[in-house]
Amino acid sequence: MTPRILLWHWNRKGGGPRYTWELARALQRRDDVELALSFSRQSDYAEPMRELGLPSYEVDTYSSARGYAAGFLRLPLLRRRFVQFLREQQVDLVISTMSHLWSPFVAPTLKRAGLPYCLVAHDAEPHPGESSRLRRWTLTRDIAQADALIALTHHVAGQLQARRPDLPPERSAVIPHGSFSFGETPHPVRSLPENRAIELLFFGRVLEYKGIDILADAYKLLRRRYGTRVRLNIAGRGDESLYGAGLRNLPGLQWENRWIGEEEIGDMLAEADMLLLPYREASQSGALAAAEFAALPAVSTPVGGLAEEIAGYGTGVVAKALSGEAFAQAVMELIESPRLYSRCSEAAVETALGPKSWDSLAGLYVGFAQQLLEQPAAPPAPDPEAG
């Protein structure tokens, strides 16, 4: 059968809208699936979504806590119209590409309408530093209400299995995060620079779990060893009073403490020589997804899905321990071996064009959808708040 899938994504910013758009484009190119969309009119990718020309249900979401609360007045009508749209499009399966704060209030309506609901769970638990009571409750409820789950790494899949032991194995899948492309063609395979400083890059929101203290300790060791041959650029918004104490006044350091627009990312990655991921905890990394297409070797701590993503594809080096010294040693491995550096750069491009290309991942999505639709309906999940 040809499955009729709706991709559901009501978040506005971050990597989620881009992820959904990339996946929608790849699915649209296939002739073994029919596709519809539901997205926020306030999304950064609202216009690119419209340009796909697919049947779409657009919603007004919110941009503040007050808007979130006021939105509950609109939810009953929004849910009815959403289900009406799904029935008009004869949708077989709803795939939420990322949990949204309204998801727990909409998912039960889908279930009552007999529409199976699959959640792409980027995380099984909120990360330290972004874990509010509301966020934790939302994610817990969303995972519990899903008829099927997709994880982006085996690490997260294991966590989801622990949270949903009732879910049959055939109703879960691991489909990696696709590589983000900020250019028409991938960056050529890189060589380690010889006649200029090596540009180290940390990219993304600066939060508690991102290991900025580990990065600071490692960078001090690298400057002690290489002097002006290494420089560090931190590109992302963060509270310097909380996370920047160990970085103040370090030589050769630049911190662009602001939201980095998508139009800037391509040039930023092109100018870097190495992506640094010193995280204390991780599911997977959108920054790594962008670095692959840019042929940028990466260094990570041995945590969560990061080690799995990098070691599994050979796109960088994983530190042997969770410390500044071990992280610095991992960076040194690439600096001291130009051959290893170029090999990791080549593997990054091969990964972006092969197993983590959106066309490859779209095939996995369609296969999983067909598998789900051939199975009997999933039993109801136990209420996580019961008892």
pLDDT in tens, 241-280: 767 767 878 899 999 989 888 889 999 999 999 999 999 9
Residue 280 tokens read as: 């204390």
Residues 270, 245 contacting (CB under 8 angstroms): no
Mean pLDDT score, 42-64: 92
What is the torsional sign of CA 103, 107, 109, 115? positive
Strand 274-277 relative to strand 253-256, pairing: unpaired
Mean pLDDT of 310-328: 96
Over range 128-132, report the average pLDDT.
67
pLDDT band at 182 (very low <50, low <70, confident <90, very high): confident
Report all structural domains of the chain as residue ranges with CATH numbers, in order of start. 4-178+357-373 (3.40.50.2000), 198-353 (3.40.50.2000)
Residue 208: pLDDT over 90: no
| Alpha-carbon dihedral sign for residues 62, 65, 67, 68 | positive
The secondary structure of 32-49 as a DSSP string is: S-EEEEEEETTSTTHHHH
SS3 11: coil
Q: Has residue 364 got a pLDDT over 90? A: yes
Each residue's pLDDT tens digit, 333-342: 999 999 999 9
Q: Give residue 386's pLDDT.
A: 43
Q: Using the predicted structure, report yes or no on whether residue 381 has a pLDDT greater than 70.
A: no
d(C-alpha 280, C-alpha 284), whole Å: 12
* Mean pLDDT score across all residues of the chain: 91
pLDDT tens string 274-313: 999 999 998 989 999 999 999 999 999 999 899 999 999 9
Query: pLDDT tens for residues 78-112?
Result: 999 999 999 999 999 999 999 998 899 999 999 89
**Res 327: pLDDT:** 98
- Is 38 or 386 the better-scoring residue by pLDDT? 38
How many C-beta atoms surround the C-beta of residue 272 within 10 A? 22
pLDDT at residue 385 in the model: 45
What average pLDDT does range 117-121 have in this prediction?
96
For residue 203, what is the enclosing H or E element? Answer: strand 198-203
- Look at the alpha carbons of 359, 190, 262, 276 in this order and tell me if their dihedral is positive or negative: positive
Helix 358-373 vs helix 15-28: crossing angle, to nearest 10: 80
The answer, yes or no, to whether residue 387 has pLDDT greater than 50, is no
Query: How far is 324 from 137, CA to CA, in rounded Å?
Result: 34
* Lowest-confidence region among 176-185, 285-294, 370-379: 370-379
DSSP-derived pairing of the beta strands 117-121 and 253-256: unpaired
Mean pLDDT over 225-241 rounds to 91
Residues in the chain: 387
